[in-house]
Homo-oligomer: A and B are copies of this chain.
Amino acid sequence: MKEHEIEAAWQGLASCERCQIRDLVLFADLAGEDFGVIHLPIEDLWLPPGAPLYQPDQAATHIHTVREGLFKLEQYLPDGNRRIVSLLRQGDVAGLEAIVADRYEHAAVALQASKVCRIPKDVVARLSPKLNRQLMNKWHEAVRRSHECTRELSTGSARQRLARLFGLLAPPLVPRCRLFGREDVGALLGITTETASRVVAEFKRSSIITEVAPNLFERDLAALERIAAEG
């Protein structure tokens, strides 16, 4: 961490109608008249490398269109480590979850000198009628699933990945879960079929899981949790 906080610089209010990258951004298909609806201030920000755009669990009040530069989205692991789950570039939107959730789910941090415009979620809500809420929820879920896969299933040792996979295969209170073929396990965790098989076998031998029928397992959730988070 740097000595003094790296701060974003306020650049002024944006004029969406004259935006240079308008075809890339959110308001691409708005007609001139619609801009009347946008009365809330849309700010232009400039951020130096290392400057955070938002932090996880911070109240989600704005979405941000990346006009220039590069951002990382990072999340924290149970063992205190962190994992970058996505990169955002020109035209991408940071903090879309604001539309459907209360809090941001990542830290968004500039990796290069970057420009964003900061749009209050109310502006989006005002332009977005009813049905779409549910559709947005689904998109949101799709993104979260994907980030979950990166964070939980593509990070750490093969043991940890398998333990986390077993943790995810059924709700936390249901001890029973069904597994799929070792080859798919490998492709999902980014390891080989053989390693997947070996680790599953080792879990069985140490009774962390018990095979009650072919590929149907009884889980020791406490033990799995412990492995998932180990150093």
Contact = CB atoms under 8 A, between A and B. Distances in A.
Contacts of A140: 139
Interface in A70-85: 70, 72, 74, 81-85
Given A86-B142, A143-B146, A187-B74, A29 B93 contact: no
A81 B34 CA distance: 47
A135 B84 contact: no
Contact of A135 (B124, B150, B178): B124
Interface in A1-40: 26-30, 34
| Tally of this chain's copies | 2
A211 interface: no
Given A85-B146, A150-B149, A155-B190, A26 B134 contact: yes
Contacts of A83: 187, 190
A206 interface: no
Contacts of A188: 72, 84, 87
A27 B131 CA distance: 8
A128 B132 contact: yes
A178 B112 contact: yes
Interface in A34-88: 34, 49, 70, 72, 74, 81-88
Contacts of A130: 29
Given A26-B135, A26-B138, A146-B146, 12 more contacts: A30-B131, A49-B180, A88-B145, A92-B138, A92-B141, A93-B138, A93-B141, A96-B138, A111-B180, A129-B129, A132-B135, A150-B154
**Those 4 A-B pairs whose CB atoms lie nearest each other, nearest first:** A139-B139, A146-B146, A84-B188, A154-B154
